[in-house]
Chain A
């Protein structure tokens, strides 16, 4: 009996077929079993016994619900399926998405059991129709856009200060990006109320943050850990520079001609030499002081104005064949010489 139990234990399940087999195999043993109770006997070797067949395992289907995506209607409201930010779920997203790094030549793994897809933040809750409907819902709380700010120019005119910062979305476990803290402030220098001295000083204070081509001052802050702090800092910088540029320090009186950003013809030797030349031509040479030179009206000199313009351009724009050429033309006119003939 013990054998029977053993055998029955080693057998998998009590299916009818199995029991039948078992009985067939043990027909001869049946009598021995009975005798065994009385006396101990050797086990009978059953030579013709057939080998146990491998019993095929029948997969018993568990009662699993079909995928949700198979039951989705094509005209469903997606906003109801995915109402808020959520980790990716393959059964809810009816898209054949693949994601992941694989060796060359293979297709990336599908969406099911794909950790790559679950790691990254998704924006499936922000589809355009959902946004639209949410905006519609929010509309009742909004005020109307001022209709005078209808163009880019008018916006620039009324709101000259421009703050630029960026938000990032990318495949990493953290939704934070270190670059998101950077805040850039941009303002046209012309929009700031500065006089001649203050403009000059402001330019020196901001240094290369001022672009003379576009007349834009660009201040960038990234030293604080959050965006708000950087925004505060940028605003502080602009305010500080603005007020500092209006200050007039004592040492600023020591500024000389060489420190100027531009060449002022009236203060320079060029004007003096022109006047000297003019007076020599008229034989009225006299010794003048700086103030007299500055006050001298050059409009009485023929072609003097053009000469002035050309020298100023020569010095301010820098030396290049074009400016030298213009200077040459102006000087020849001044002296009454023939212009260079083009061959």
Chain B
């Protein structure tokens, strides 16, 4: 009883300084809420981001702040407006989020994912492409592809993604309306028949890790067909998309041969998905300097990060910049931090922090930490 009162008091206090909005449905967000924080419910958060999707440092913050609050910002609203205005019967429109390091591209994507979930989209979300191509833990499972000659499979990563896909789309997969169009024969004994639900395909991939990459290939193809036939609308979100176009990955075959990104089966499946040869869907990509090595981080603009090949692949796309905090956003964020006990001290601290962090959201968060 008392805690509830306390929470209530907190909320009232927060609303008084207006850095928080009680509107928890992203679809309802509009210009009036720019710069305000909204809270994602914990169970929803778990469903969406349990297998990645929020940056690590942000996850740490959510633990300390005991809530997952995302700021409503212009780029996310902009994309929502565009999605609402666009004709779903036309080929999918690719939106590319770009911006400086730490400007909040991934969080904008998270906001959009929440929107997509609320709007009933089928979500295909890759939390961080570099996780597949550039991160090399000691035991990175890698096998030569059985079905495609000269390609490399990442079965564990693929299975993990399938799990992620399954958790994100629990509700949609349950209602079994999404059927497969043709037979898939994995081996002599194992096969998935036409007409069985997509969930079966996903389950097969998770259980039989060996076929996970092929399952993803098939799954993405099926989803394209389903979207074209208006059985579902699809939301594709890929974070760190430019990793697919960096000339080299960090992966090595057992014979020490360097692998190019286009030699990985996952790359091909997802590049196929980002083409505009299907409709009834939305594709939101982020390109990030952090997805490529330090020596290729000279600029954050799309052509530089995507290279010629990537640019031509996506063209025409809608570039959307995620910028630094505006004055209003910065103030609201500082107030939020003060509310969450993350920031304290005299009020001229803000002016100084604004200057030293150059209003970059990540830098601001970092510089607040030891204060």
B281 interface residue, CB < 8 Å from A?
no
When chains A and B are docked, how far (Å) is the Cα of A328 from the Cα of B316? 9
Whether A320 touches B301, Cβ cut-off 8 Å, given contacts A273-B312, A336-B86, A341-B74, is yes
* Size of the chain A interface, CB-CB below 8 angstroms: 29
Chief secondary structure at chain A's binding surface: helix
Chain B residue nearest to A270 (CB atoms) is B315
Contact with B86, one of A280, A314, A337 (Cβ below 8 angstroms): A337
> Chain A's nearest CB lies how many Å from the CB of B302?
7
B317 interface residue, CB < 8 Å from A?
yes
A327 interface residue, CB < 8 Å from B?
yes
B85 interface residue, CB < 8 Å from A?
yes
> Chain A's nearest CB lies how many Å from the CB of B120?
21
Contact B316 A274 (CB under 8 A): yes
Whether A340 touches B78, Cβ cut-off 8 Å, given contacts A280-B277, A328-B320, is yes
Contact with B303, one of A281, A307, A314, A341 (Cβ below 8 angstroms): A314
When chains A and B are docked, how far (Å) is the Cα of A324 from the Cα of B311? 12
Contact A319 B86 (CB under 8 A): no
When chains A and B are docked, how far (Å) is the Cα of A245 from the Cα of B93? 46
Contact A269 B312 (CB under 8 A): yes
Chain B residue nearest to A278 (CB atoms) is B91
Contact A332 B91 (CB under 8 A): no
Contact B315 A273 (CB under 8 A): yes
Chain B residues within an 8 Å CB radius of A128 = none
When chains A and B are docked, how far (Å) is the Cα of A39 from the Cα of B276? 151
A331 interface residue, CB < 8 Å from B?
yes
Provide the A318-337 mask, 1 if CB < 8 A to any CB of B, else 0: 01110010011001101111
Chain B residues within an 8 Å CB radius of A270 = 312, 315-316
When chains A and B are docked, how far (Å) is the Cα of A314 from the Cα of B316? 12
Contact B312 A341 (CB under 8 A): no
Contact A328 B319 (CB under 8 A): yes
Chain B residue nearest to A342 (CB atoms) is B74
Chain A residue nearest to B312 (CB atoms) is A269
B87 interface residue, CB < 8 Å from A?
yes
> Chain A's nearest CB lies how many Å from the CB of B37?
17
Contact A319 B318 (CB under 8 A): no
When chains A and B are docked, how far (Å) is the Cα of A341 from the Cα of B317? 18
Whether A277 touches B87, Cβ cut-off 8 Å, given contacts A270-B315, A341-B78, is no
Chain B residues within an 8 Å CB radius of A328 = 318-320
Chain B residues within an 8 Å CB radius of A319 = 299, 301-304
Contact A307 B312 (CB under 8 A): no
6 residue pairs from A and B, CB less than 8 Å apart: A268-B312, A270-B312, A280-B277, A315-B303, A332-B318, A338-B82
Give me the interface of B with A, judged by CB distance under 8 Å. Answer: 31, 34, 74, 78, 81-82, 85-87, 90-91, 93, 98, 276-277, 299, 301-304, 312, 315-321, 326
A331-B319, A336-B85 known, 15 other contacts, Cβ within 8 Å = A269-B315, A273-B276, A273-B312, A273-B316, A277-B276, A315-B303, A319-B302, A324-B301, A328-B318, A331-B316, A335-B90, A337-B93, A340-B74, A343-B31, A343-B34
Return the 7 tightest CB-CB contacts between A and B, nearest first: A269-B312, A337-B82, A319-B303, A319-B301, A280-B91, A328-B319, A331-B316
